[in-house]
Structure 1
Amino acid sequence: MPRKYIYLIITYVAMQSSGLLVQPFMPLIENQDVFIVAWSVMTFAVALVICLIILRHEMKDFFQLREKKIGSIILWSFLGIILVMISQYTAIIIEQVVFGIKPGSKNTMDLMNVARQAPIFIVIISVLGPILEELVFRKAIFGSLYKRMNFFFAALLSGVIFAAVHMDFEHILTYTAIGMVFAFLYVETKRIIVPIIAHMAINTFAVIGQLSMDPEEIERQMEKMEQLMMILIGGQ
């Protein structure tokens, strides 16, 4: 793995672990919820800037449009959104039918609860997070693995790592499937901007969908989905 990609991963890990630096001072902070949100936004933004500096010599892959026209990028991004949705719902059905796992991600619910209390947190979910994750998990990790093994195993391994980082192991199949779709988009277009756009769009749709409903309505939708799953598998 190139040294710059190692630095990229170190930056991401440091950002995710940065809360440990301020943890001893939390009892001294009056409004801890506001501080945590502000700290998260700041560390994500700083990490992204650092990652872009590390990849400054590859920024043409980010912005240059000579090889791929804007229309092609938009088309592939739209196709990517559809593929992610298909893979996501397929994984949810498999989780329900094979493993008996109920739909609904605790990780997503926790993030949405924070977003309801502090809307600025949406910047992390819809913008900063997707860009960082695609640079780290697709460009650095998947890209390095793909040079040493075939697409399926490289996408699967990087997808599992992507899933594990989200700390929602009950739905690891769903996160892995989504990660593999993003890897496919990266390989097919040879441009990291495409999975970034698709990732941002999917997260934004999730935010809009979740925030437009109150918690009780979300619970009712989950129950309806579970009932639908039971019907599909022939349950009573």
Structure 2
Amino acid sequence: MTLYKQNFSIIISYLFILLIPSAVVRFGHLSASFFLITTIVDCLGAAWLLYLNQRTQANAIEQRPFPLKPIIIWGVCGIVLVLVIQILAGFIEQNILHITAKSLNTISLMTMMQQQPFLILATTIAAPIMEEITFRKAIFGGLASRLNRILAAIISSLLFAFLHQDGHLLIYTAIGLFLCWLYRKTGSIFTTIISHAGMNLIVTLLYLNR
């Protein structure tokens, strides 16, 4: 299977996974179980994308991956750096672009998480795995072999930002660009998975403990 087909399979799988919970709830009349179904589907989806990741051949970014120990170190350091980037981008949005710091999607999700704690699995583990394999490996990694890597990173990061649909385009684009850089730096998608999952976990815990 060519890299193009491999990346296409990852992207289609991800989009399909996003649609499954709504389809199940709508046709199965299971609206009361939407978040439970979402969590289960996301966890299974993350496992499936990890399987596809293991089956794919190395792309242009992954030709010289770091050993395991530096991958873990960079992943943990990336948690701190991505939080700093998020804070700085948020400052620019609020004080220069005059965009409110509140996110209705995030507030709604966190509120539901207080009532249904199992959602933490979806937001801190499953979602980072799926998003990193899709946006960093399949989209950025796929485009990097055809386009200028900076342009590939911008496209991937903008798509990543638009997917979240909460009005904070600059924050998510900045996060996406940093994670593209981190992926390129280490040559391993597991570095960015660690950073992304760690960031989501810290943000979630801070919100839930307010």
TM superposition score normalised by structure 1: 0.79
- Report how far residue 74 of structure 1 moved: 2.6
- Residues 15-74 of structure 1, C-alpha deviations (whole Å, 9 max, x = no match): 111112431432xx4xx43x112210121122223223323324999xxxx963443123
> In the alignment, which residue of structure 2 is the partner of 1:137?
135
> In the alignment, which residue of structure 1 is the partner of 2:86?
88
> In the alignment, which residue of structure 1 is the partner of 2:156?
158
Aligned with 2:66: secondary structure? coil
> In the alignment, which residue of structure 1 is the partner of 2:47?
49
2:170 paired residue among 173, 191, 203: 173
Aligned with 1:52: secondary structure? helix
Q: Which one has a bigger Cα radius of gyration?
A: 1
- Residues 115-136 of structure 1, C-alpha deviations (whole Å, 9 max, x = no match): 1110001000110110011000
> In the alignment, which residue of structure 1 is the partner of 2:205?
208
1:25-36 alignment to 2 at 5 Å? 25-26=28-29, 29=30, 32-33=31-32, 35-36=33-34
2:191 paired residue among 190, 194, 207: 194
> In the alignment, which residue of structure 2 is the partner of 1:220?
none
Q: Does structure 1 retain, via aligned residues, the 8 Å contact 2:160–2:176?
A: yes
> In the alignment, which residue of structure 1 is the partner of 2:18?
16
1:68 paired residue among 66, 69, 81: 66
User: Which deviates further from its counterpart, 149-158 or 175-184?
Assistant: 149-158
Aligned with 1:119: secondary structure? coil
Q: Does structure 1 retain, via aligned residues, the 8 Å contact 2:45–2:126?
A: no
Number of matched pairs: 203
- Residues 202-236 of structure 1, C-alpha deviations (whole Å, 9 max, x = no match): 000011100001xxxxxxxxxxxxxxxxxxxxxxx
Q: Does structure 1 retain, via aligned residues, the 8 Å contact 2:66–2:187?
A: no
> In the alignment, which residue of structure 2 is the partner of 1:6?
8
- Report how far residue 94 of structure 1 moved: 1.4
Give the AA of the match of 1:98.
I
Aligned with 1:74: secondary structure? helix
Once residues 130 and 179 of structure 2 are traced to their aligned partners in structure 1, the CA distance between those partners, rounded to angstroms, is 13
Task: Answer yes or no: is 1:184 the counterpart of 2:176.
Answer: no
Once residues 207 and 60 of structure 1 are traced to their aligned partners in structure 2, the CA distance between those partners, rounded to angstroms, is 33
What percent of counterpart residues are identical? Answer: 32
Tell which has more relative contact order, 1 or 2 (C-alpha 8 A, sep 6+): 2
Q: Which runs of 5+ in 2 are unaligned?
A: none
Q: Which runs of 5+ in 1 are unaligned?
A: 214-236
> In the alignment, which residue of structure 2 is the partner of 1:124?
122
TM superposition score normalised by structure 2: 0.88
Give the AA of the match of 1:72.
P
After superposition, the Cα gap between the structure-2 partners of 1:188 and 1:205, relative to the gap in structure 1 and judged at 3 Å, is same
Once residues 174 and 93 of structure 1 are traced to their aligned partners in structure 2, the CA distance between those partners, rounded to angstroms, is 9
CA RMSD of aligned residues (A): 2.1
